[in-house]
């Protein structure tokens, strides 16, 4: 019987090493999957952060526009300039309230259709005042996180009367 035990001691060592190698491969595979999941979660967080900034910039711009600000306000100037662009181009303005050192937020305006009363200059207003009436616009708020490249656009149509 002692002869049989001597032959089997080497087999136990080989089987143990094979099992250890399999456990090691499974562990490395699980670590790689965990790393990929962290990257996916980070991408989702970056996208959500960009979306929230773009949506906030859109809400802020709509509040400014609906309050009928002066003709020097940058959103109003961009809207007026978009009416006069060639081939219906859009005019962008930076949103300094929502932008950070790692995120750039912009608003762009494109005049979609203009009703019979166009933008222009009022005779009774100051010489450089801009009057916009009955014009349909498409506003696009874009937020880009520079470190990751995550970008989100929020688009909204409205009529300025």
pLDDT in tens, 44-53: 999 999 999 9
Kindly tell me if the per-residue pLDDT of 149 is higher than 60.
Answer: yes
Q: Is the CB of residue 65 less than 8 Å from the CB of residue 160?
A: yes
Kindly tell me if the per-residue pLDDT of 154 is higher than 80.
Answer: yes
Domain boundaries, the chain: 2-160
The pair phi, psi for residue 69, each rounded to 5°, is: -75, 180
Kindly tell me if the per-residue pLDDT of 118 is higher than 70.
Answer: no
**Whether this model's pTM surpasses 0.85:** no
Per-residue model confidence as pLDDT tens digits over 78-99: 888 888 776 778 889 998 888 8
Q: Is the CB of residue 83 less than 8 Å from the CB of residue 132?
A: yes
**Distance, CA of 71 to CA of 16 (rounded, Å):** 81
Is the Cα dihedral 54, 62, 78, 86 positive or negative? Answer: positive
Kindly tell me if the per-residue pLDDT of 19 is higher than 90.
Answer: yes
Kindly tell me if the per-residue pLDDT of 57 is higher than 70.
Answer: yes
Per-residue model confidence as pLDDT tens digits over 64-79: 888 877 777 888 888 8
Kindly tell me if the per-residue pLDDT of 115 is higher than 60.
Answer: no
């Amino acid at each position: 019987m002692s002869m049989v035990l001597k032959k089997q001691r080497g087999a136990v060592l080989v089987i143990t090493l094979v099992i250890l190698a399999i456990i090691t491969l499974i562990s490395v595979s699980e670590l790689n999957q965990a790393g990929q999941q962290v990257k996916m979660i980070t991408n989702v967080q970056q996208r959500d952060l960009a979306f929230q900034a773009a949506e906030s910039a859109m809400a802020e711009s709509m509040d400014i526009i609906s309050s009928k600000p002066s003709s020097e306000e940058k959103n109003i100037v961009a809207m007026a300039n978009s009416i006069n662009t060639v081939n219906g181009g859009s005019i962008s303005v930076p949103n300094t309230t929502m932008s950070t050192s790692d995120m750039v937020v912009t608003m762009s305006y494109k005049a979609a259709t203009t009703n019979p009363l166009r933008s222009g200059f009022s005779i009774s207003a100051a010489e450089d005042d801009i009057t916009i009436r009955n014009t349909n616009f498409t506003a696009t708020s874009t937020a880009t996180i520079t470190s990751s490249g995550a970008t989100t656009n929020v688009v909204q149509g409205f009529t300025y009367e």
